[in-house]
Amino acid sequence: MKNDLITLDNVSRFYGEVLGVNRVTLSLPPGITSMVGPNGAGKTTLMNLMTGLLRPTRGRIRILGIAPTQSHKLFGLVGYATQFDAFPKGLSGFQFIYSFLRLFGYSNAKCKQLADQVIEQVGLSDAAGRRVAGYSKGMRQRIRLAQALAHDPRVLILDEPLNGLDPLVRAETIKLFRRYATEGRHVLVSSHVLHEVDMISDQVVLMSGGYVVAEGQIQGVRSEIQERPVKILIHCKQPSVLASRAFEHEYVVEAQFLTEGSGVLITTRDADRFYRLLNHLAVNGIDIEGVTPADDNVNSVYDYLIGSEEKMSL
Amino acid sequence: MIKLWFGQIVSVVRLELKKTFFSKRGLWVYLLAFAPVVLFGFNSIHGTHERQRLARQAARHPISQAAFNDIKNGLSPDQVIEKLGKPYRQYSRYYHRGGKKHRIVFYRYTDGKIDFTYQFEDDKLIRTHRRNPNALTQTQLVFATSFQFYFLRLAVFFGCVGVFVNLFRGEMLDKSLHFYLLTPMRREVLLAGKYFAGLLATIVIFTSSTALQWWAMLWQFERGVIVDFLASPGWSQFAAYLSVTALACVGYGSIFLAVGLLFRNPIIPTAVVLLWESANPFLPPLMKKISMIYYLQSICPVTASQDNLPPLLGLLISPTQPATTLTAVTRIVLLTLFVLVLASFIARKLEINYSTD
């Protein structure tokens, strides 16, 4: 059971005086895990540490029980699509994947079969014979994804995999991630496209300035932030009455009326107590048509946890 | 496991060979390697013309062998002219000695094969220079000198710098090294694959150059002269030169592979190795033996001429017995293995940090 986890124990990495990541402790179960954070947050450093491209200054990493230094064992299980947008010179898409697979020790026929298969999977069959150097950004992204997927790994580590993909391919790719996750594999994704992360993640790791600022299931992360005001959208027939009753309580901090008068967006510091208040109001004659958490997603958590730090630093 | 490693090495070699042979970054390696072929080619063309010129000269002004044999030191220019006729070329030089101006006069004659230059000072014949453009001895010496002082010390040396340093450093600059590190391949296996790719490329390039130089050197001579020479000791010399070239690639290759792994800027370590190798003739015998060039020169079939060195520099040369072939080969191979083992430790700790490279 323990070998199903990706574990990082007090991992730090410094580039001389510069902090890469600091005291990161994580234990990631199978499923889709998103690493979210602004540039320089340490996402890529953490992924490079997990795959042995970098060595931790301190701490211990295990991927399904294997140390990243044991590359000969690790990369049978792990596929990593990096963010480095460079390829071995002079190779076509097919040759790139084929040559990469040859290094795994597969036979010539097996390499051809796997390469064809994965190239089709990422929708590059028509361009397989063309040189990678002539590919568009999206195509290069897809061939990198193909390289990570080619040997059917149990752990997929993908640095900004959705960058540059058109909506159709993006949807296909997300579907692929979901399929991998349902098969009990790890899919570790870093992204700036927060609403996509929100949609696909089983768990999230929020990073800022080299630190993990929150981690866990998206709801769990949300509940970690008790003090953070929450926005709740209420569709009702009497928004002004609801707002005035809500403002009688100190935990309601803001109310914005929807332009068409169909509801109100309430900001509260205590979601639980506000939900109880709504029940009370509904029982006492206010016609509430619907209640939607307006910011219960990674984006809002991210804005709150990281955006505020950025604003402060500005 | 061995089969897997072997397969991985072969795959790395395949990937690297194309890059190594056809890299734009490495074009200068070809220039360096094949420059002496061009020089020996020109020398052969010149030698052929020279022989034809001497034959024409002899036809225009035939001189008997007996007349040449009759020329002895102490004869005056007029006496020489009396025996041989007018020289086909005459020129003079001046020099100062003891506050006095001296004139040296040169007369040139030929019997159609040998070019005789008679040197007169104070109206007396003091020296006779014989130059036979059809004799291989002089050319062999030129080849040995060019091979040991240019080809080994500069062409193969810098060629190995260009090829082996780029095996890791070049991919760091291209930001494509990580693809190798994302495969289930031991770093030592990757290192071996890259080394063999570099070795194959340099051996092909530089032994081809040695063979072509050899051909260019011999091309000017008549068929009979070439056949006689090859029968003994030509072929064994040829094989020895090819082996020395390959061994130089083996040794220098390992050193510069390690340099490419260890240093971001290979210029300084390369300069240090070059300085050490160049200073080899002047080092004490014990230190001489801690170098590649000492062992390579030891197994060269012809000792290179150091006659043209300035006298002061000549005095600084410390004479040392060359190593036996067995010792030389063993020590080069051992040094190579030692450096490769060291390099594999560095490779194990190799990190991908393109932003700082």
Q: What is the pLDDT of residues B141-176, one digit of tens each?
A: 888 888 988 899 999 999 999 999 989 988 888 888
Q: What are the residue ranges of helices labelled H in A122-231?
A: 137-149, 167-182, 194-200, 218-224
Are B251 and B336 in contact, with CB atoms under 8 Å apart?
yes
pLDDT category at B223 given cuts 50, 70, 90 is confident
CB contact under 8 A, A48 and B352: yes
Question: Mind telling me how many Å the CA of B13 is from chain A's nearest CA?
Answer: 11
Are B198 and B167 in contact, with CB atoms under 8 Å apart?
yes
Are A156 and A50 in contact, with CB atoms under 8 Å apart?
no
Task: List residues in chain B touching A: CB distance below 8 A.
Answer: 4, 7-8, 11-12, 14-15, 18-19, 22-23, 174-176, 178-187, 348-349, 351-354, 356
User: For chain A, which domains are there?
Assistant: 2-223 (3.40.50.300), 225-313 (3.30.70)
pLDDT in tens, B240-251: 999 999 999 999
Residues of B in contact with A15 (CB under 8 A): 353, 356
Measured from the Cβ of residue B333, the count of other Cβ atoms closer than 10 Å reads 14
Q: How many Cα atoms are found within 13 Å in the side-chain-facing hemisphere of B124?
A: 4
- Residues comprising chain B, all counted: 357
**Distance separating alpha carbons of residues B167 and B45, to the nearest angstrom:** 39
CB contact under 8 A, A71 and B186: yes
**Would you say residue A301 has pLDDT above 70?**
no
Check residue B305 and give its pLDDT: 65
SS3 B335: helix
Question: Mind telling me how many Å the CA of A154 is from chain B's nearest CA?
Answer: 14
SS3 B127: strand
**By percentage, how much of chain A surpasses pLDDT 90?**
40
CB contact under 8 A, B352 and A99: no
Q: Which residue among B11, B15, B351 places its CB closest to the CB of A88?
A: B15
pLDDT category at A116 given cuts 50, 70, 90 is very high
Cα dist. A281→A19, A51, A152, A265, B176 in Å? 51, 54, 54, 16, 63
Q: Which of B4, B13, B166, B182 to mutate to test the interface with A (most CBs of A within 10 A)?
A: B182
Check residue A66 and give its pLDDT: 94
Q: Region B57-67: what's the mean pLDDT? A: 89
Residues of A in contact with B353 (CB under 8 A): 15, 54
**Distance separating alpha carbons of residues B304 and A4, to the nearest angstrom:** 67
**Would you say residue B196 has pLDDT above 90?**
yes
Residues of A in contact with B352 (CB under 8 A): 48, 53-54
Are B15 and A99 in contact, with CB atoms under 8 Å apart?
yes
Residues of A in contact with B23 (CB under 8 A): 89
**Would you say residue B314 has pLDDT above 80?**
no
Phi and psi at A263, nearest 5°, equal: 175, -170
Minimum CA–CA partner of A88 in chain B: B176
Minimum CA–CA partner of B182 in chain A: A75
**Would you say residue A298 has pLDDT above 80?**
no
**Would you say residue A242 has pLDDT above 60?**
yes
pLDDT in tens, B281-301: 788 888 888 889 999 989 988
Check residue A299 and give its pLDDT: 59
**Distance separating alpha carbons of residues B157 and B145, to the nearest angstrom:** 16
Residue B179, burial from CB neighbour count under 10 angstroms (0-12, 13-18, 19+): buried
Q: Region A83-96: what's the mean pLDDT? A: 89
Check residue A224 and give its pLDDT: 60
Q: Which residue among B11, B175, B351 places its CB closest to the CB of A99?
A: B11
**Would you say residue B357 has pLDDT above 50?**
no
**Distance separating alpha carbons of residues A13 and A43, to the nearest angstrom:** 12
Q: Which residue among A53, A99, A103 places its CB closest to the CB of B351?
A: A53
pLDDT category at B311 given cuts 50, 70, 90 is low
Residue-by-residue DSSP string for chain A:
-GGG-EEEEEEEEEETTEEEEEEEEEEE-SEEEEEE--TTSSHHHHHHHHTTSS--SEEEEEETTB-TT-HHHHTTTEEEE-S-----TT-BHHHHHHHHHHTTT--HHHHHHHHHHHHHHTT-GGGTTSBGGG--HHHHHHHHHHHHHTT--SEEEEESTTTT--HHHHHHHHHHHHHHHHTT-EEEEEES-HHHHHHH-SEEEEEETTEEEEEESHHHHHHH-TTS-EEEEEEES-HHHHHHHHTTSTTEEEEEE-TTSSEEEEEES-HHHHHHHHHHHHHTT--EEEEEESS-SHHHHHIIIIIHHHHHH-
Check residue B175 and give its pLDDT: 87
B198 or B314, higher pLDDT: B198
B329 is written with which tokens?
């080969």
B289 or A47, higher pLDDT: A47
Check residue B182 and give its pLDDT: 93
- The domain limits of chain B are 2-48+135-356, 59-131
Check residue B238 and give its pLDDT: 94
Check residue B212 and give its pLDDT: 96
Check residue A210 and give its pLDDT: 87
- The overall average pLDDT reported for chain A is 84
- The overall average pLDDT reported for chain B is 89
**Distance separating alpha carbons of residues A87 and A84, to the nearest angstrom:** 8
CB contact under 8 A, A75 and B354: no
Are A11 and A49 in contact, with CB atoms under 8 Å apart?
yes
**Would you say residue A311 has pLDDT above 50?**
no
ipTM: 0.75
Check residue A104 and give its pLDDT: 92
DSSP conformation class of B113: S
pLDDT in tens, B98-108: 788 888 999 99
pLDDT category at B316 given cuts 50, 70, 90 is low
**Distance separating alpha carbons of residues B5 and B76, to the nearest angstrom:** 79
Are B260 and B316 in contact, with CB atoms under 8 Å apart?
no
CB contact under 8 A, B182 and A51: yes
A306 or A204, higher pLDDT: A204
Question: Mind telling me how many Å the CA of B6 is from chain A's nearest CA?
Answer: 9
Phi and psi at B61, nearest 5°, equal: -140, 75
CB contact under 8 A, A53 and B352: yes
CB contact under 8 A, B356 and A105: no
Check residue A1 and give its pLDDT: 47
Task: List residues in chain A touching B: CB distance below 8 A.
Answer: 15, 48, 51-55, 69, 71-76, 79-80, 82, 84-90, 99-100, 102-105, 147
Q: Which residue among A71, A86, A105 places its CB closest to the CB of B187?
A: A71
Residues of A in contact with B15 (CB under 8 A): 88, 99
pLDDT in tens, A180-194: 999 999 999 997 656
Check residue B329 and give its pLDDT: 94
**Would you say residue B356 has pLDDT above 60?**
no
pLDDT category at A60 given cuts 50, 70, 90 is very high
- Lowest-confidence segment of A48-57, A63-72, A96-105, A276-285 by average pLDDT: A276-285
DSSP conformation class of B126: E
CB contact under 8 A, A88 and B19: yes
Domain B59-131 has CATH 3.30.930.10: no
Q: Which of B179, B180, B186, B355 to mutate to test the interface with A (most CBs of A within 10 A)?
A: B179
CB contact under 8 A, A53 and B185: no
pLDDT in tens, B117-142: 999 998 899 999 988 877 788 888 88
**Would you say residue A313 has pLDDT above 50?**
no
- Lowest-confidence segment of A138-147, A208-217, A242-251 by average pLDDT: A208-217
Are B10 and A81 in contact, with CB atoms under 8 Å apart?
no
pLDDT in tens, B73-93: 999 999 999 999 999 999 999
Which of the given ranges, A80-84, A279-283, B20-24, B320-324, has the highest pLDDT on average?
A: A80-84
Instruction: Kindly compute the dihedral angle of the four CA atoms of residues B172, B173, B176, B177, in this order, to the nearest 10 degrees.
Output: -10
CB contact under 8 A, B176 and A88: yes
Check residue B319 and give its pLDDT: 60
pLDDT in tens, A130-172: 999 999 888 899 999 999 999 999 999 999 888 767 667 778 8
Phi and psi at B94, nearest 5°, equal: -120, 150
**Distance separating alpha carbons of residues A261 and A279, to the nearest angstrom:** 21
Question: Mind telling me how many Å the CA of A216 is from chain B's nearest CA?
Answer: 28
Q: Which residue among B14, B19, B183 places its CB closest to the CB of A75?
A: B183
Instruction: Give the count of Cβ contacts less than 8 A between chain A and B.
Output: 82
